[in-house]
């Protein structure tokens, strides 16, 4: 059976959501035959949408998803009804592979155990990813399952960029800069192809946000660190902090490790600065009404992005192109304009591109199948 007829199912999960797609190989690249999302899993406002590129499938339902298992089972039912050939593979987006898993790979029992041991490196992300993998393997039993990691793209970071200024023993235990959003960055590199210049900065701006400096298509620096909480301020994440801030909160505000984790991941960023909102369209509306907290949140966000781009221009010895991607990067002209204001001296072009993480996962899975 040819690869072009066998689909690759890609799963990309959030805390209460699931994005998915089935990709078929056509004209030498992966094309989305089916795509969809399950939102509000476990909530009364849950919804499911599934659509095929040829229009033969158009499913839209509300209040149907009690669990992630239910969402996956509904996807399986649709595939059994409409997909004539068996799946070639199931690909999973996994945010962090920890210090031991630094390549995309088939999910074997040994790999799964290694990922469980790596949970301390991504306690907010890896447990959910592993739960989804277990659920999917129980439903899609006849296809191999592959893990594709957001950290792999950044393996090219030079040691000067990946090392923290801590004793070497900690680096040897995995306390280094890993970087994230790698599948997004890689999809942009793939889409640009021969049009990718030597010195590029990509800004992936969404609820989670980061930037990457690329030299000849390879990551040489990135804003997120050992975890996705580092870098620029995000929707609810603090981004980089003076370590003394955390020490102060430990000693004088009686915050323990769990409280600090909740603070820097769920109660900081735009949400904290604006005193309520982590949604950029809502913040921009508030700014239009002269809301001071919303203005501050947007100013801090854009300033951090602009400052990082300037630093990366210095690291790259100049800058040829800035790419904006992610939900905010793609859809907010106001944020792009504010970020670019003051960067004219760099002389770089800029463009807006859609990220294609699921498609990039499908490419990796197809490659691993033929390896």
Active site residues: 150
Q: Which two tokens stand for residue 86?
A: 């068996």
**Which residue shows structure tokens 């029992």?**
109
Sheet containing 89-94: order of strands: 58-62, 47-52, 29-39, 18-26, 8-13, 89-94, 145-149, 105-106
Beta-bridged to residue 58, according to DSSP, are 51
With beta carbons less than 8 A apart as the criterion, state whether 199 and 318 touch.
Answer: yes
CB-based contact 122:179 (threshold 8 Å): no
- Tell me the helix, strand and coil percentages in the chain, rounded to 5: 45, 20, 35
Contact 205, 340 (CB under 8 A): no
The number of beta carbons lying within 10 Å of the beta carbon of residue 231 is 26
**92 in Cβ contact with 107 (< 8 Å):** yes
Residues 9, 22: Cα–Cα separation, whole Å: 4
Residue 123 and residue 127: Cα distance in Å, rounded?
7
- Answer yes or no: are the C-beta atoms of 147 and 125 closer than 8 Å: no
Q: What one-character-per-residue DSSP string does 167-233 give? A: -HHHHHTT-S-----HHHHHHHHHHHGGG--SEEEEEEESSSEEEEEEETTEEEEES--SSTT-SS-
């Amino acid at each position: 059976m040819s690869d072009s007829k066998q689909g690759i199912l890609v799963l990309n999960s959030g805390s209460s959501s699931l994005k998915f797609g089935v990709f078929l190989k056509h004209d030498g690249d992966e094309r989305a035959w089916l795509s969809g999302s399950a939102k509000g899993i476990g909530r009364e406002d849950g919804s499911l949408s599934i659509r095929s590129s040829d229009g033969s499938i158009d499913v839209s339902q509300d209040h149907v998803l009690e669990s992630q298992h239910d969402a996956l089972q509904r996807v399986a039912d649709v595939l059994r009804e409409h997909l004539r050939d068996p799946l070639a593979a199931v690909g999973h987006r996994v945010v962090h592979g920890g210090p031991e898993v630094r390549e995309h790979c088939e999910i074997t029992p040994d790999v799964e155990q290694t990922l469980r041991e790596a949970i301390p490196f991504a306690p907010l992300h890896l447990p959910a990813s592993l739960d989804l993998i277990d659920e999917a393997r129980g439903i899609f039993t006849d296809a191999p399952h592959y893990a594709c990691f957001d950290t792999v793209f950044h393996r090219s970071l030079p040691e000067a960029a990946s090392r923290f200024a801590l004793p070497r023993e900690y680096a040897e235990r995995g306390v280094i800069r890993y970087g994230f959003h790698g599948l997004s960055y890689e999809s942009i590199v793939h889409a640009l192809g021969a049009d990718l210049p030597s010195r590029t900065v990509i800004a992936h701006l969404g609820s989670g946000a980061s930037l990457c400096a690329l030299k000849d298509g390879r990551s040489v620096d990135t804003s997120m660190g050992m975890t996705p909480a580092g870098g620029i301020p995000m929707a609810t994440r603090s981004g980089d902090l003076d370590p003394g801030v955390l020490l102060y909160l430990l000693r004088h505000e009686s915050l323990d490790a769990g409280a600090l984790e909740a603070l820097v991941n769920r109660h900081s960023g735009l949400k904290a600065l604006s005193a309520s909102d982590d949604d950029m369209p809502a913040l921009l509306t508030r700014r239009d009404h002269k809301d001071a907290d919303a203005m501050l949140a947007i100013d801090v966000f854009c300033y951090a992005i602009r400052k990082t781009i300037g630093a990366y221009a210095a690291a790259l010895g100049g800058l040829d192109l800035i790419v904006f991607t992610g939900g905010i990067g793609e859809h907010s002209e106001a944020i792009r304009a504010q970020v670019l204001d003051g960067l004219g001296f760099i002389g770089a072009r800029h463009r807006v591109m859609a990220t294609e993480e699921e498609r990039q996962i499908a490419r990796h899975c197809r490659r691993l199948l033929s390896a």
